[in-house]
């Protein structure tokens, strides 16, 4: 028999943990509703202009118990009310994943509740299915562009747990291209939101940057990043105040370039697969130029577009909880021998 043959289980409480990079996040969901979702960020990486893996895992160790405690308290439930423990298995930093996974396994064992492993990228895609007055739920099939600090993926979503990766970056992620450019400009880490802010006051067509060639619907941001570095170095040789006098236009032009590059393949996929539903996910989906252009595309191509609520764009445990909810319905549980996966295909 095909289709949804299982009986839907309701009033399910899932405690979810996400620790794949530098955010220690925990959430409690009742079915598709978030009862609590808290994230402890890590300021220490600002000093280094990027995430330092060893420091990230140490901070996860410090943060995980207080964050879980705070979430349980806010959700107003007891530990014994939890029906399953969800955790990010990968992709991510080994030490960071290990902290969340070890904690989740211990809790699963102590409470005698099933463990559900979640792929971080699957979490970003399924964040669209969290109940929220600020976001709509996409219809299947839809195209999801997942853009974050570590990933750039074009995913055809046929059902909650039935996805096909159509294209992805062959080197750096778009978030990395934002953050490294920000570092070159002397801005703090993570630089994506700062570029976004400065770009609002700048001219998006004043400067142009390199395009890179890839096969299929894949992306490449490494060359764009390097061309940006050379552009700034050359300009500084002619005018030592070039960056400070032109920062808004530099940010606006570079941001517009990255968004144009990322949306070019989106348009091709939508056309080739005759899709009318398009969603964006991941930290970079907070970018205002990307959001503006997605809205413009909605009108131009007569699409239905979906942009998640801001708190579910960047890394958070609620998205891990919602993915686990759909796995719980299928009794898709994991054993306690589960190891973290630095690379984990979707
Ligand atoms: O999804 P996320 O929180 O973590 C990863 O899984 O990587 O994404 C973080 C990335 C960082 O590169 C950050 O600079 C970028 O998202 N980001 C933005 C904006 N807000 C966050 N990039 C551009 N514009 C923004 N407004
Ligand atoms: Zn992420």
262-305 per-position pLDDT tens digit: 999 999 999 999 999 999 999 999 999 999 999 999 999 999 99
The model's confidence at residue 7, banded by pLDDT at 50, 70 and 90, is: confident
Q: What is the mean pLDDT of residues 135-155?
A: 96
Q: Where do the CATH 3.30.420.40 domains begin and end in the chain? A: 13-130+313-329, 142-307
Instruction: Locate the ligand 1 atom nearest the alpha carbon of residue 288 and give its number.
Output: 26
Element (H, E) at 144: strand 142-147
Q: Residue 76 above 70 pLDDT?
A: yes
Q: What is the pLDDT of residue 218?
A: 98
Shortest-distance Cα residue to atom 14 of ligand 1: 192
Instruction: Locate the ligand 1 atom nearest the alpha carbon of residue 197 and give its number.
Output: 26
The CATH T-level fold of domain 13-130+313-329 is: Nucleotidyltransferase; domain 5 (3.30.420)
Do residues 189 and 182 touch, judged by C-beta distance below 8 A? yes
Residue 152 Cβ inside 6 Å of ligand 1? The answer reads: no
Q: What b/e readout covers 53-76, taking b as 16+ CB neighbours within 10 angstroms?
A: eebbbbbbeebbeebbeebbeebe
Q: Residue 66 above 80 pLDDT?
A: yes
Q: What is the pLDDT of residue 50?
A: 79
Q: What is the pLDDT of residue 46?
A: 82
Q: What percent of the chain has pLDDT over 70?
A: 98
User: The tokens 């299928």 sit on which residue?
Assistant: 330
CA 307 → CA 19, 127, 128, 255, 284, distances in Å? 23, 10, 8, 18, 11
Q: Residue 176 above 60 pLDDT?
A: yes
Q: What is the pLDDT of residue 1?
A: 45
**pLDDT single digits (tens) 8-61:** 899 999 999 999 988 999 999 999 999 999 999 888 888 887 788 889 899 999
**pLDDT single digits (tens) 177-229:** 999 999 999 999 899 999 999 999 999 999 999 999 999 999 999 999 999 99
Element (H, E) at 305: strand 304-306
Mean confidence (pLDDT) of the chain: 95
Residue 175 Cβ inside 6 Å of ligand 1? The answer reads: yes
Centre of ligand 1 to C-alpha 149, Å, is 5
Nearest to 126 by CA among 160, 102, 100: 160
Q: Residue 4 above 90 pLDDT?
A: no
Say how far apart CA 255 and CA 301 lie, in whole Å.
22
Q: Model pTM?
A: 0.94
Residue 117 Cβ inside 6 Å of ligand 1? The answer reads: no
Centre of ligand 2 to C-alpha 109, Å, is 27
Q: What percent of the chain has pLDDT over 90?
A: 90
Centre of ligand 2 to C-alpha 91, Å, is 9
Residue 196 Cβ inside 6 Å of ligand 1? The answer reads: yes
Q: Residue 6 above 70 pLDDT?
A: no
Q: How many CA atoms lie within 13 A of 47 on its CB side?
A: 6
The model's confidence at residue 155, banded by pLDDT at 50, 70 and 90, is: very high
Centre of ligand 1 to C-alpha 184, Å, is 17
Domain 142-307 homologous superfamily, CATH: ATPase, nucleotide binding domain (3.30.420.40)
């Amino acid at each position: 028999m095909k289709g949804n043959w299982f009986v839907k289980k309701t009033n399910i409480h899932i405690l979810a943990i996400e620790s794949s990079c530098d955010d220690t996040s925990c959430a409690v969901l009742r079915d598709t509703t978030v009862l609590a979702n808290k994230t402890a960020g890590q300021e220490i990486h600002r000093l280094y202009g990027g995430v330092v893996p060893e420091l990230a895992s140490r901070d996860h160790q410090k943060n995980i118990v207080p964050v879980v405690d705070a979430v349980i308290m806010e959700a107003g439930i007891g530990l014994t009310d939890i029906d399953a423990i969800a955790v990010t298995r990968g992709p991510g930093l080994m030490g960071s994943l290990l902290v969340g996974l070890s904690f989740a396994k211990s809790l699963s064992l102590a409470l005698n509740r099933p463990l559900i492993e979640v792929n971080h990228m699957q979490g970003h895609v399924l964040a669209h299915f969290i109940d929220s007055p600020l976001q709509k739920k996409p219809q299947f099939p839809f195209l999801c562009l997942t853009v974050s600090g570590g990933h750039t993926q074009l995913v055809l979503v046929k059902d909650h747990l039935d996805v096909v990766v159509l294209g992805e970056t062959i080197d750096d992620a778009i978030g990395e291209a934002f953050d490294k450019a920000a570092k070159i400009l002397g801005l703090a880490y993570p630089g994506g939101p700062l570029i976004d802010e400065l770009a609002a006051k700048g001219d998006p067509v004043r400067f142009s940057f390199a395009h890179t060639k890839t096969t299929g619907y894949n992306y490449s941001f490494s060359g764009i990043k390097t061309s940006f570095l050379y552009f700034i170095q050359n300009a500084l040789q002619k005018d030592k105040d070039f960056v400070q006098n032109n920062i808004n236009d530099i940010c606006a032009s570079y941001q517009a370039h990255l968004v144009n590059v990322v949306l070019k393949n989106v348009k091709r996929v939508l056309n080739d697969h005759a899709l009318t539903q398009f969603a964006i996910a991941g930290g970079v989906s907070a970018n205002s130029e990307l959001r503006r252009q997605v809205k413009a595309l909605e009108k131009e191509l007569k699409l239905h577009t979906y942009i998640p609520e801001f708190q579910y764009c960047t890394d958070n445990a609620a998205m891990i909880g919602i993915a686990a909810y759909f796995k719980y319905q299928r009794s898709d549980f994991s054993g306690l021998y589960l190891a973290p996966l630095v690379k984990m295909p979707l």
